[in-house]
């Protein structure tokens, strides 16, 4: 049996979680998930500005902080913190945690190869619109193939203390230690599917131990000290989900079911580069005391193509807010919205979209929200999006004047004009898997 803990659900998750996982009980592998589609574009822009960057910068200081525990307990760290510059990330880890052996998984970054791929007939069409990639070629910020767990397991086989990947799948961070420890083979689809399900359950960190949970959430104990998840995995594919004793949160079958539904499409065909997992085959047994047994998972062969995550520049946006207080707070906010829109029209400005929300009234649930006749306060939030930065910039100058020239009781304007931000759009595509060649490099 091996213990695989997840201490990071996204870049920005609780900094203390991985530290506490190593302090509060036994762990064999520590998985840290940093990347999302939008994150890849952020790190690519950072690398373009500074070739020494392009990775999750929180990761090397964390490894420096827990390096002593890694050495003392023989814990292996597996992370996709490498972004688009895993070598630079590894070098910084080596600088802050000297003596640790670091392995890097390469090959997912397709950005330098795009022109070659297009020239050889790989159109990388958008999976949703069927447009060819050439339609946005000059605006692309990043392009990464989702790689699976076997290259990560290969990196673990080098004896590395820390394995750093770029855009591997979230589930690969959990499956790879199982492949490495148990010797699972590429054609053992039921086992690979079980490891994939385990990875899916814990990939969002504390979301499977009671965080962000709808099931009787007010009774979940001590969320301030919530325990992050641990998978206790066996070579036969059966595993248990738990957390360290004495930590906050809750692990039950109902909580696990919520996480299983996260980002789920066809439940019979959960596709990864390693296998196809059938989520309808999953069996859960609630063992009590924050422990759930998972078994019976079935799987099939992986798809012939890999998914490619591409991000590209798509104009500019700005979002501004004002708060109006009772009485007639909603009517004041609605009047302010009409004034802003009329002034923008008088200026001849056009936008792809102007979007207004009324926080405190119906912003989250819209018409499904229970009606509130006269709310105590309403936050007006207006956003615009356009390819013309100047138009968006002018919008940012039209909201604050309402403090003196609009409806009464406006407040919440202390931050001044809202900033103009670049809009990064997402382009999903498919590529033949034999076009993606991975490799492992070791830094000692």
418 pLDDT higher than 80:
yes
Write the pLDDT tens digit of every residue in 217-244: 999 999 999 999 999 999 999 999 999 9
pLDDT for residue 369 is more than 90: no
Q: Judge whether residue 83 has pLDDT over 90.
A: yes
The yes or no reply on domain 313-426 and CATH 3.30.70.1150 is yes
Q: What average pLDDT does the segment 413-431 reach? A: 92
Mean pLDDT within 66-72: 97
Give the start-to-end residue ranges of the domains of the chain: 2-108+146-303, 313-426
Name which residue leads in pLDDT, 367 or 279.
279
User: Which pTM was predicted?
Assistant: 0.94
Average pLDDT, the chain: 96
- 41 pLDDT exceeds 80? no
444 has pLDDT over 90: no
378, 329 Cβ separation under 8 angstroms: yes
Give the pLDDT confidence of 342-363 residue by residue, as tens digits: 999 999 999 999 999 999 998 9
- Residue 99 above 80 pLDDT? yes
Question: Please, which pLDDT band fits residue 42 given cuts at 50, 70 and 90?
Answer: confident
Q: Is the pLDDT of residue 407 over 90?
A: yes
Residue 319's Cβ-count burial label (10 Å; 0-12, 13-18, 19+) is middle
Sequential DSSP letters for 172-234: HHHHHHHHHHH---TT-HHHHHHHHHHHHHHTTGGGGTTTT--TTGGG---GGGBPPPEEEE-
% pLDDT > 70, the chain? 100
- The stretch 98-115 carries a mean pLDDT of 96
Task: Say if residue 403's pLDDT is above 80.
Answer: yes
């Amino acid at each position: 049996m091996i213990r695989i803990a997840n201490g990071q659900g996204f870049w920005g998750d609780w900094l203390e979680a991985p530290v506490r996982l190593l302090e509060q009980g036994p762990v064999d592998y520590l998985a840290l998930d940093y990347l999302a589609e939008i994150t890849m574009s952020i790190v690519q822009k950072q690398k373009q500005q500074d070739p020494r960057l392009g990775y999750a910068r929180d990761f090397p200081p964390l490894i420096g902080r827990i390096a002593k525990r890694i050495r003392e307990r023989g814990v292996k760290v597996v992370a996709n913190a490498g972004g688009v510059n895993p070598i630079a990330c590894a070098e910084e880890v080596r600088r802050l945690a000297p003596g640790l052996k670091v392995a890097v998984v390469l090959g997912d970054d397709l950005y330098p190869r795009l022109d070659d791929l297009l020239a050889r007939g790989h159109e990388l069409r958008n999976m949703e619109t069927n447009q060819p990639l050439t339609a946005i070629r000059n605006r692309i910020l990043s392009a990464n193939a989702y790689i699976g767990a076997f290259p990560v397991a290969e990196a673990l086989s080098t004896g590395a203390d820390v394995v750093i990947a770029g855009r591997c799948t979230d589930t690969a961070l959990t499956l790879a230690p199982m492949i490495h420890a148990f010797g699972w083979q590429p054609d053992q689809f039921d086992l690979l599917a079980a490891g994939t399900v385990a990875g899916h359950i814990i990939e969002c960190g504390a979301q499977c131990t009671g965080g962000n949970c709808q099931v009787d959430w007010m009774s979940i104990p001590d969320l301030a000290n919530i325990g992050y998840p641990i998978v206790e995995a066996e070579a036969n594919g059966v595993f248990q989900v738990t957390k360290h004793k004495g930590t906050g949160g809750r692990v039950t079958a109902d909580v696990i079911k919520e996480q299983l539904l996260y980002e789920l499409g066809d439940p019979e065909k959960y596709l990864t580069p390693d296998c196809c997992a059938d989520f309808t085959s999953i069996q859960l047994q609630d063992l009590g005391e924050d422990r759930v047994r998972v078994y019976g998972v079935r799987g099939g062969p992986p798809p012939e193509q890999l998914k490619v995550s591409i991000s590209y520049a798509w104009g500019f946006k700005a979002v501004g807010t004002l708060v109006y207080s009772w009485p007639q707070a909603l009517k004041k906010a609605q009047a302010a919205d009409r004034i802003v829109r009329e002034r923008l029209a008088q200026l001849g400005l056009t936008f792809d979209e102007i979007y207004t929300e009324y926080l405190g009234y119906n912003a989250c649930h819209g018409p499904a929200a229970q009606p509130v006749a006269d709310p105590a306060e309403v936050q007006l939030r207006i956003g615009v999006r356009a390819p013309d930065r100047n138009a968006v910039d002018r919008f940012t100058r039209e909201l604050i004047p309402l403090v003196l020239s609009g409806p009464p009781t406006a407040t919440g304007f202390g931050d001044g004009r809202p900033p103009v931000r670049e809009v990064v759009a997402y382009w999903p595509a498919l590529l033949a898997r034999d076009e993606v060649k991975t490799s492992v490099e070791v830094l000692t």
